[in-house]
Structures are given as C-alpha cells and as structure tokens.
Structure 1
Amino acid sequence: MTDRLRLRPLRESDRDHLMEIFSDPIAMKYYERTKSIQEAQDWIAWNHRNYHVYKVGLWAVVSAEDGHFLGQCGIVPQKVNDEILMEIGYSFIRDHWGKGFATEAARACLQHGFHTCEFPKMISLIDPNNKPSIAVAKRIGMERETQIMKWNRRIDIYSKSRIMEER
C-alpha cells in the first residue's frame, strides 16, 4: 500500500484487465509473446497457488483514489541456477506508463519482501534491452548482478539484499 496505490490479490474478475496488458504487443515486447484469455486465467490461478504456498504473488495494483486497475506487481518465486529466489515483477496497462506507478509498487513490494517476509535477497529478471524495467529496478536500489540464460534468452539479474536495505 502506498499513498496512491493499493495492492490486492488478483481476482478472476481481473482477467479482462490483465488482457489489456497481455494482448498488447508493445506491453509484451520483452516477453516471448502475447497471452490468450486462457493463459490469463492460468496466470491468475498460478498466482493463487503462490499466495497459498509462498504467501506472496503478483497482486493487482489499483488506484487508492477510485480502485481503477492499473497493472500488476508483486513477488514471485523464480528458479535461478537450481535455487528458488524471490523476484519483484511488474507490468502495467500502457495508458498508465510514465506515472511512477511501477516504481512505487515495486518499492512497496521490496519493503514487504524484506520487512514482512524477511527474504534475505530480492531479484528482478529483466531483458537487457528493457530500459524502462531496468530503470525501475535501479530506482528501488537494485544493481545488475549477472546475466543468465532463462526462457531461451539472455536475462539480466538485478538484485538487492536485505543487509544493503538496512544500511
């Protein structure tokens, strides 16, 4: 929760809102492809499993003022080199880009991950060409750690440790 934003669990009724992101080739530029309605439903179900198993997941980001759906942001488990690490992920409806929502939501998720969940480290997996997502990661204090092969392509790992956060 921030002054402008509320984060809440994704609901089945968010499917059409997610499709505003998932069906937009510009918003999905750094993903393998756009997603279908069925894949959006599967996405919601995957997040519900993460809520149950890990107590985190991607959450709907809505306006604190009027409850309007803006995008999604949260913490998801990612397998990196045979280790499960917690990733801050974010994607927003293109009409809401450039307003600081991704940074604000990602910062809130970073705080939640460190202070509530007590994760020792948080990462973001970002396509090396995705300059806007890199900028968000840097604004919340993450630094590029390394590059790996994941999803059949090169992905940069940005990270921040809880120790660095507490300084």
Structure 2
Amino acid sequence: MTAQVLSTNRLILRKMREKDVDYLLEIFSDKEAMRYYPACKSREDTKKWVEWTLHHYKVYGFGMWIVEEKRSGCFLGQCGLVLQKMDGCVEVEIGYLFARRYWGSGYATEAALACKKYGFEEIGLSKLISLIDPENKASIKVAKRIGMSYEKTIRKWDKKLDLFSCIPKVEEM
C-alpha cells in the first residue's frame, strides 16, 4: 500500500510514519506555531500523536497526513481529516498546521482544498468543519479561501473556538 494519499500541483500528502517525529517536532516545539494550541509538544507527546494518527488510519481510513513539497520532497507540515466530538455528535474536521518557515506560501490552502475535495468526493461526507481560535486570523483566511464560512462559536478544550463549515456544492458531488 502506497503512503501517498493526495497530490496537488505542488504538494504530496502522505500517510504519517513513526520516523516523522523529528519533522513534526519542528512545529510542535515552536511556541509561535503552537500559539493557539494548549501547549507545545515534547518528543514523547509527538510520538503519541503519530501513534494516535496511525490508529486513526486503521479505524477510520483517514487522518492527518504529512505534507511535502512535490519537487523537493521537503517536509512542510501536516493537513488532513480528523474526527471531532462536540455538542453530542461527531464531525469531520479539516486540520492544518505548517512549519513557520513556510507560512504565507499558500501551502495550507492548497493542502486543505485537496482534503476538502477528498472528503466530499472520495469519502462522501456531507459536511466538513474547522475549529479555529478566533484570534488565529491566518487559519480563518485558509478556511474562507477553501469555501468555509463561520457557523458558530463553541467551547472545546476549555476555550472558545469558532466553527467554520462547508457542505459539498452540486458540482462537487
């Protein structure tokens, strides 16, 4: 089974591997990149994240994927689909988190758009969400660029988050 899940003009999205811990630590140990998350992650936390993600693939068939630049193979970040429990139901979230040195390059939008298409066309989902800290203006821009709109504010992880969502358009079905 191939590790590649998705491909865009500039990107490869592939399944995470245990040896990706060092790549992910570039993001997870960066206080600025993790500003809107509860805390930075240690090496052990990052290993647990990779294990959780690998389990997610086995159980649900999708998860967060490693994003690499197609031309160079360089690690850029992670983007994918994750289950989120809230308000008594489960939704599928498009999540994205990139190394700070690649911010502003359009990679998050490109990867998130590919995940949106995959969720609607390959999995057949009827809705996708993104949970975003209201202060995270860059993530809000990505959500809006891929066609999501603000739905409501919720409370999760002991903080207020804006829930953005989208449904497939007729031509996406």
The answer on 1:66 being equivalent to 2:92 is: no
| Counterparts in 2 of 1:165 and 1:106: CA distance versus 1, 3 Å | farther
**Corresponding residue of 1:54:** 60
**Corresponding residue of 1:131:** 137
The answer on 1:33 being equivalent to 2:39 is: yes
Give TM-score scaled by structure 2 length: 0.94
The answer on 1:84 being equivalent to 2:69 is: no
The 3-state SS of whatever aligns with 1:136 is helix
Could you tell me how far 1:12 is from its partner in structure 2? Answer: 1.0
The 3-state SS of whatever aligns with 1:33 is coil
Could you tell me how far 1:158 is from its partner in structure 2? Answer: 0.2
Tell me the amino acid that sits aligned with residue 82 of structure 1: G
**Corresponding residue of 1:115:** 121
The 3-state SS of whatever aligns with 1:158 is strand
Unaligned runs of 5+ in 2: 1-6
> Within 2, Cα distance between the matches of 1:30 and 1:151?
11
RMSD: 1.2
Contact map agreement 1:120 1:163 (CA 8 A) in 2? no
Unaligned runs of 5+ in 1: none
The 3-state SS of whatever aligns with 1:48 is helix
What is the number of equivalent residue pairs in this alignment?
A: 167
Give TM-score scaled by structure 1 length: 0.97
> Within 2, Cα distance between the matches of 1:133 and 1:15?
23
> Within 1, Cα distance between the matches of 2:66 and 2:78?
5
Of 148, 154, 163, the match for 1:148: 154
> Within 2, Cα distance between the matches of 1:46 and 1:156?
25
The 3-state SS of whatever aligns with 2:166 is strand
Contact map agreement 2:121 2:172 (CA 8 A) in 1? no
Contact map agreement 1:75 1:89 (CA 8 A) in 2? yes
Could you tell me how far 1:4 is from its partner in structure 2? Answer: 0.3
The 3-state SS of whatever aligns with 1:162 is coil
Could you tell me how far 1:52 is from its partner in structure 2? Answer: 0.9
> Within 2, Cα distance between the matches of 1:110 and 1:50?
18
Q: Percent of counterpart pairs with the same letter?
A: 50
